[in-house]
Chain A
Amino acid sequence: SAVISQKPSRDICQRGTSLTIQCQVDSQVTMMFWYRQQPGQSLTLIATANQGSEATYESGFVIDKFPISRPNLTFSTLTVSNMSPEDSSIYLCSVSQGESTDTQYFGPGTRLTVL
């Protein structure tokens, strides 16, 4: 399976600022996704990062709050904009390869704390 890295691994940010999280894969992948895991909760899909076009957002998530880029087949970024304490979560990227798009492999996550 692909090796996935995320930067930063953790950060503490002030209310009203923005943070961009990077996801880098060591090989070309078919699909890239972004998830949020709020404290003590399960994972929720934010959006599917589409290469060369706008991301596909799930219900409850909007582009203005969570802009996503995917310039190529191995890299994506998620920005958490105008942060509030409610955005404190772990943000994870995942990827799928080949024709088996339902099998996803996850990065180590970015732990975000907003003060």
Chain B
Amino acid sequence: AQSVTQLDSHVSVSEGTPVLLRCNYSSSYSPSLFWYVQHPNKGLQLLLKYTSAATLVKGINGFEAEFKKSETSFHLTKPSAHMSDAAEYFCVESGGTSYGKLTFGQGTILTVHP
């Protein structure tokens, strides 16, 4: 069975410093991988998607993620955190089946201090 592991349940950074949210996936084949963000009392917003076209994926709001097959990792980064980045982030894997079942990581809550 697929599994997605987000290595940190909480990450705290100061505004203007880099953000690193870590994710490991389990698939032995090349999966489709996603990062979603959930702001308090809001729905999920797609940040970025990896589908094997390029290992470095750029998303919205200055976020990017790098796919590393040798490490089965798909970490999310941003060079400079903004207060509005405070939210919960989910790393997600698609099983690649015809109906596109998504497997979610447990989430990482990002706190940004002024």
Contacts and interface: CB of A to CB of B under 8 A. Distances in A.
Interface of A: 1, 4, 31, 41-45, 48, 56, 58, 92, 94, 96, 101-109
Contacts of B42: 108
Given A42-B90, A109-B43, A102 B106 contact: no
Contacts, number: 50
Contacts of B90: 42-43
Contacts of A56: 99
A29 to B, nearest CB: 12
Nearest to B107: A42
6 contacts: A31-B99, A58-B101, A101-B98, A101-B100, A102-B32, A106-B43
| Most-contacted residue by chain B among A1, A4, A58, A103 (CB, 10 A) | A103
A4 B34 CA distance: 19
Contacts of A105: 46
Interface of B: 32, 34, 36, 42-46, 49, 90, 94, 96, 98-102, 104-107
| Most-contacted residue by chain A among B32, B90, B104 (CB, 10 A) | B104
Contacts of B46: 1, 103-105
A102 B94 contact: yes
A96 B100 contact: yes
Nearest to B33: A102
B44 A92 contact: yes
Nearest to A96: B100
A105 B83 CA distance: 24
A45 B95 CA distance: 13
| Most-contacted residue by chain A among B42, B90, B102, B105 (CB, 10 A) | B102
Contacts of B94: 102
B91 to A, nearest CB: 10
A51 to B, nearest CB: 13
B104 A42 contact: yes
Given A103-B46, A106-B44, A107-B43, A42 B105 contact: yes
